[in-house]
Chains A and B, each alone.
Chain A
Amino acid sequence: MYMRALIKAALTLIAVGALAFTATAGTLEDVKSRGELRCVVSTGIAGFAYPDEGGTWKGFDIDFCRATAAAVLGDASKIKAVTSTGKTRFTKLNSGEGDVLWRNTTITFSRDVGVKLTFVGVNYYDGQGFMVNKSLGVNSAKELDGASVCIQTGTTTELNLADFFRANNMSYEAVTIEKNSEARAAYLSGRCDIYTTDASGLAATRSTFPNPGNHKILPEIISKEPLGPATRQGDDQWADIIRWVYNATVTAEEKGVTSSNVDSMKNSNDPEILRLLGVEGSQGEELGLSKDWAYQIIKQLGNYGEIFERNIGPNTPIGLARGLNDLWTRGGLQYSPPFR
């Protein structure tokens, strides 16, 4: 009896002393009661997530995280960046350290089904490309037989590369490096003939070269890399919120609602704009959010186009064209279901 009491006491101490239990209620309630949204983000991908000199997180993914905070909490600044590496990102989401994953994550079958995530949309359509030095005189990825390839690991990149070279019956030498800064250095030194990663990453990396003009990105895109946010499986309400946060930014761009004209748009004649901004309809309540959730997103962050231009657009050092990520009305793939 005595001993059992002792063990019980010890175990209770361990359990109570070291751990703080959190309720496993819905994510939305958790976020609201905490007053802060925790986004799993990268430790640094140019244009998508990085700290500025004041320690504020910036980037395309971060802005979407802020948009989520604006919708749920009404304040885009109430975010916490849970930094993660490629290896730890899914665990951080699944263990509850983060509420949502906004981190350059390619949607694949195995991640959706095997790693047990719910992907709710594609906020950036990417594809794996190749960059070579112009002096090699290579014009197509099909001419790369026997080349050395620098790869930044942590993504689906190595698998795509192996598939591409196998499909074209070519041999290659892979140099798989963990971080972009080292992979970049290896490519620049001539260790590799080719640098391969997502096309957005290639453009971003090239912009940091001493002589960007000496390098070119080959026309072939060898893979589909739909990058999108993910939530834990089994919380449909929360997944809906993330999905419609993204949809709201796209719809706003489509309807011409921007952060500067959003107030005057409240008097618009277009019923869909009125529903989007919460003037009519009950979309907000149905999501479990305030009536003006989408208004807050657009007011504080802007629409999809504004977020794109600010972080990775042609006028930034990254300098990406809209391309596939243009609105469907302009020949791109960004398309939102109607607000109805």
Chain B
Amino acid sequence: MDSPSVSTQKPSLLLRLWRNQEHRSIAIQIITMVILFSLLGMIGNNVATNLEKAGKEFSFGFLNYPAGYDITFQPFISYSPTDTHTRAAIVGILNTLLVAVSGVIIATILGFTMGILRLSSNWLVNRIVYVFLEFTRNVPVLLHILFVYGIFLYTLPVPKKAISISDTVFLTNRGFYTPAPVFEDGFNYVLTSILIAILIVFFFKRWAYKVQDTTGKIYPVFTISITILIGLPLLTFFFSGAPLSWEMPALKGFNFKGGTSIKPEYIALTFALAYYTACFIAEIVRGGILAISKGQSEAAHGLGLRPNRTLQLIVIPQALRVIIPPLCSQYLNLTKNSSLAIAIGYMDVVATIGGITLMQTGKEMETMIIVLLTYLFFSLVISAFMNWFNRKMALVER
């Protein structure tokens, strides 16, 4: 007779399942998945209906049509308005990549310099760097880009009044013109010698570290490596009869012709992004160096290490461990901020495929997918590289 009342007191099956942590966790996950997939399904369905309603179709066919517009700066592959949208997109992607890579390099150098200057005992330098850092960090990056571009255009002269450095390099507000190398037949030898030099350095380094580990004898690895890297190709170059000539830039008509030129849009964008990011890097570097307690350097001195070896072997490896993770996100920020390039006319991926192509073809969905994937790919590569570097650095620890 008791059983009915027991069964009423007993919680329902669902409630019992819910109270079990494991079951609950599975239930939550299943519900999440179902909601997610139905949302995705709904979105997919909506996209299909909306595109059909608007009379558009989802296709990347437009990529094969001629783009029709010009791109000023195409240092890697040639491009003309008759080329396809695909080629325009590749030029844009390469331009983004160029700004990102050069920006990251300059930002790192500037950032480390400013971070160290911030610790300088020179009051004036210290203060100037501080004011500069604070001002830069607290103003939107778009304004910095416009500012640098403006300064560049208004301080440098027009081509007719170009600043000439011994008639080979010309500085104008339309860019820096330098002689372009023209490679002749024997230049292959020089290229081969560079490869050989790299191999030699690689094996020399391994050998030197082995010697240091077993005998304690230290070779000046850095100096010797540099000497080999520069010296061997240079020797080959002269022995093979200097197979290289230069094409000089010269003023013809409106502009300089010949030689290679670096455009002000590229310089301004790279420099603005670099110093903006460098200001954040400087703070990271300062924090990283300050985080290494003084005892570490004192201990190293006590062991008889010379000051530069202390810096090289004790302080920097430890500081880097603190510095690298935030440094990585600054590199990512720089890459992403380069998407503001169109403000000053640098044709990056957002300006080409995500800009003019989009406006011409009306393919928002397709062009935006390309742009988003490009940035995601760059971000993943940077993250992966920095993670690898971080792991490599972490090995130094204990």
A–B contact (CB under 8 angstroms): yes
> Which of A38-46, A60-68, A119-127, A184-192 lies at the binding interface?
A184-192
> Which of B68-76, B195-203, B273-281, B310-318 lies at the binding interface?
B68-76
> Which of A1-9, A47-55, A237-245, A251-259 lies at the binding interface?
A1-9
Residue pair B257, A87 in contact (C-beta under 8 Å): no
B253 contacts the other chain (CB 8 A)? yes
Residues of chain A within 8 A (CB-CB) of B364 are 91
Residue pair B70, A162 in contact (C-beta under 8 Å): yes
Given A110-B360, A116-B56, A159-B360, is A146 in contact with B342 using a C-beta cutoff of 8 Å? no
Given A114-B362, A116-B54, A146-B253, is A166 in contact with B81 using a C-beta cutoff of 8 Å? yes
- Chain A nearest CB from B266 CB (Å) reads 12
A148 to B345: give the CA distance in the assembly, Å.
13
B252 contacts the other chain (CB 8 A)? yes
Residue pair A177, B253 in contact (C-beta under 8 Å): no
- CB-CB contacts of B343-376 with A at 8 A, as 1s and 0s? 1110100010001101111101000000000000
Residue pair B153, A185 in contact (C-beta under 8 Å): yes
> Which of B31-39, B104-112, B292-300, B321-329 lies at the binding interface?
B31-39
Residues of chain A within 8 A (CB-CB) of B343 are 177-179, 182
Residue pair A158, B253 in contact (C-beta under 8 Å): no
- Residues of chain B from 224 to 279 with CB closer than 8 A to chain A in the complex: 252-255, 257, 264-265
B174 contacts the other chain (CB 8 A)? yes
Residues of chain B within 8 A (CB-CB) of A145 are 253
- Chain A nearest CB from B369 CB (Å) reads 16
Residues of chain A within 8 A (CB-CB) of B193 are none
- CB-CB contacts of A10-32 with B at 8 A, as 1s and 0s? 11001000000000000000000
B14 contacts the other chain (CB 8 A)? yes
> Which of A76-84, A168-176, A216-224 lies at the binding interface?
A168-176
Residues of chain B within 8 A (CB-CB) of A176 are 69-70, 72, 342, 345, 347, 351, 356
- Residues of chain B from 134 to 173 with CB closer than 8 A to chain A in the complex: 146, 149-150, 153-154, 157-158, 173
B42 contacts the other chain (CB 8 A)? yes
Most buried by A among B30, B42, B255, B264: B255
B216 contacts the other chain (CB 8 A)? no
B11 contacts the other chain (CB 8 A)? no
- Count residues on chain B whose CB falls below 8 Å from chain A CBs: 48
A11 to B41: give the CA distance in the assembly, Å.
12
A154 contacts the other chain (CB 8 A)? yes
- CB-CB contacts of B35-59 with A at 8 A, as 1s and 0s? 1001100100000000000111000
Residue pair B54, A186 in contact (C-beta under 8 Å): no
- Residues of chain A from 122 to 172 with CB closer than 8 A to chain B in the complex: 136, 144-148, 150, 153-154, 158-159, 161-163, 166, 172
Residues of chain A within 8 A (CB-CB) of B157 are 190
A3 to B32: give the CA distance in the assembly, Å.
11
Residues of chain A within 8 A (CB-CB) of B68 are 158-159, 162-163
A111 to B158: give the CA distance in the assembly, Å.
39
- Chain B nearest CB from A182 CB (Å) reads 6
Selected from B149, B173, B342, the residue in CB contact (under 8 A) with A153 is B342
- Count residues on chain A whose CB falls below 8 Å from chain B CBs: 49
Given A11-B42, A158-B70, A178-B343, is A148 in contact with B361 using a C-beta cutoff of 8 Å? no
Nearest CB in chain B to that of A94: its residue: B54
Residue pair A147, B34 in contact (C-beta under 8 Å): no
Residues of chain B within 8 A (CB-CB) of A14 are 39
A115 contacts the other chain (CB 8 A)? yes
Residues of chain B within 8 A (CB-CB) of A3 are 30-31, 34
A141 to B34: give the CA distance in the assembly, Å.
64
Residue pair B252, A146 in contact (C-beta under 8 Å): yes
Selected from A11, A91, A136, A158, the residue in CB contact (under 8 A) with B38 is A11
Nearest CB in chain B to that of A91: its residue: B364
A190 to B42: give the CA distance in the assembly, Å.
54
Residues of chain A within 8 A (CB-CB) of B38 are 7, 11
A158 to B67: give the CA distance in the assembly, Å.
10
Residues of chain A within 8 A (CB-CB) of B31 are 3, 6-7
A225 contacts the other chain (CB 8 A)? no
Selected from B39, B146, B173, B356, the residue in CB contact (under 8 A) with A191 is B173
Residues of chain B within 8 A (CB-CB) of A144 are 254
Residues of chain B within 8 A (CB-CB) of A102 are none
Most buried by A among B54, B150, B254: B254
Residues of chain B within 8 A (CB-CB) of A154 are 359
Residues of chain A within 8 A (CB-CB) of B149 are 182, 186
- Chain A nearest CB from B357 CB (Å) reads 11
Selected from A147, A162, A173, A189, the residue in CB contact (under 8 A) with B154 is A189
Residue pair A190, B158 in contact (C-beta under 8 Å): yes
A153 to B154: give the CA distance in the assembly, Å.
22
A146 to B252: give the CA distance in the assembly, Å.
8
A114 to B359: give the CA distance in the assembly, Å.
11
Nearest CB in chain B to that of A86: its residue: B359
- Residues of chain A from 267 to 296 with CB closer than 8 A to chain B in the complex: none
- Chain A nearest CB from B259 CB (Å) reads 14
Given A7-B35, A176-B351, is A191 in contact with B253 using a C-beta cutoff of 8 Å? no
Selected from B69, B70, B153, B362, the residue in CB contact (under 8 A) with A90 is B362
A186 to B14: give the CA distance in the assembly, Å.
70
Given A94-B54, A186-B345, is A161 in contact with B355 using a C-beta cutoff of 8 Å? no
Residues of chain A within 8 A (CB-CB) of B347 are 176
Residue pair A189, B173 in contact (C-beta under 8 Å): yes
- Residues of chain B from 2 to 22 with CB closer than 8 A to chain A in the complex: 14
A193 contacts the other chain (CB 8 A)? yes
A148 to B34: give the CA distance in the assembly, Å.
57
Q: A146-B257, A148-B254, A185-B150 are in contact. List 14 more A-B contacts (CB 8 A).
A: A3-B30, A7-B35, A7-B38, A87-B358, A90-B362, A146-B255, A148-B255, A158-B68, A159-B69, A177-B345, A178-B345, A186-B345, A189-B173, A190-B157
Enumerate 17 A-B pairs (CB-CB under 8 Å) in ascending A order: A7-B31, A11-B35, A11-B42, A87-B355, A114-B361, A136-B254, A146-B253, A147-B255, A162-B70, A166-B82, A173-B72, A176-B345, A176-B356, A177-B344, A182-B146, A185-B153, A191-B153
Closest 3 CB pairs of A and B: A189-B153, A190-B158, A162-B81
